[in-house]
Structure 1
Amino acid sequence: MNQKPLTPIMLFYLFCSLAGLVIPWYYNIQHIRYGDTPFTVAAWLRAGMATPLTRSITTDFLIGTTPVLIWMVREGYRLKMKHIWLYVLLTFLIAFAFTCPLFLFFRERKLRTNAGLPTSE
């Protein structure tokens, strides 16, 4: 298969996806190594609701992520992208900051392929 160069926006999405993988998991690993409670969804929700500031961040994440995940699934099916369910799963196993820009990268690639455009600008 002939690999085509990536566009600047595709490189930006990949950079954001990599940052969204590394940075949140750096903090997750810090919690796993040094935290006083096991890393569970219940513990995450409790910690996320501990103060008004963490409640703001947690509810912002949950409210913002929900419609974007729905859009990602609908858009993925509309464009006939493969393995759409994987983005939803990886959002909760890795990080939304990883899967959202990763989806945008593959969406951009699919749009360009569907339009018959080269991937370089």
Structure 2
Amino acid sequence: MQSRRLALVYLVLGLAGLALTWSQNLAYFGPAAAGGFADFLRGTVANPGARSIAFDILIVGWTASIWMVIEGRRRRMKFVWLYPVLGWTVAMAFAVPLFLAVRELALRTPPEIEGRPGLIDGLGLGLVSAFALVLLVLGVRAAGLI
């Protein structure tokens, strides 16, 4: 019963994250938005404070994505790649609590049948993420955003 309550708390947090982020996204990209996504990206690097928050979220998001895939495979959760995809396309504030809710329910699985990801899984995800970060920083820099 405890795990169901905790899963419910995670789901409520995920729904709050979805509502809070998308209320702002819709306000930003609403009818009055002229600059579109490029203007949105410029806003994330507009000053050192915005860059600090953007880079903080970026690193936490990549870290969470790697962990969600590895932990999800270890727990043999279905559709484990869906959580990082939701995080990067919808909101990390939605995807991470959703993953935690599903994981909490998956923790009820006996440990002897858990999957065990290999070392290459974590290294591969880490290398791909590091490469993506380098490309992102170079692209933002080339676009003159920082």
TM-score, length of structure 2 as denominator length: 0.69
2:41 counterpart SS class: helix
State the Cα deviation string for residues 24-82 of structure 1 (Å, max 9, x = none): 000000011132311x2x44332100011111110110111111110000000111101
Query: Which position in structure 2 is the counterpart of 1:9?
Result: 6
1:71 aligns with 2:28: no
TM-score, length of structure 1 as denominator length: 0.82
Contact 2:4 2:105 in 1 (8 A): no
TM superposition outliers: structure 1 runs of 4+ over 6 Å: none
**Structure 1 unaligned spans of 5+:** 116-121
- Pick one of 33, 36, 41 that aligns with 2:34: 36
1:88 aligns with 2:88: no
1:84 counterpart SS class: coil
Task: Point out which structure has higher relative CO (alpha carbons under 8 A, 6+ apart).
Answer: 1
The separation in 2 between residues aligned to 1:12 and 1:47, in whole angstroms, is 32
User: What amino acid does structure 2 have at the position aligned with 1:15?
Assistant: V
2:81 counterpart SS class: helix
The separation in 2 between residues aligned to 1:77 and 1:32, in whole angstroms, is 36
What is the number of residues matched between the two proteins? 110
User: What amino acid does structure 2 have at the position aligned with 1:48?
Assistant: T
The separation in 2 between residues aligned to 1:11 and 1:74, in whole angstroms, is 23
2:23 counterpart SS class: helix
The separation in 2 between residues aligned to 1:43 and 1:32, in whole angstroms, is 10
Question: Between the two proteins, what is the percent identity of the paired residues?
Answer: 40
2:52 counterpart SS class: helix
2:35 counterpart SS class: coil
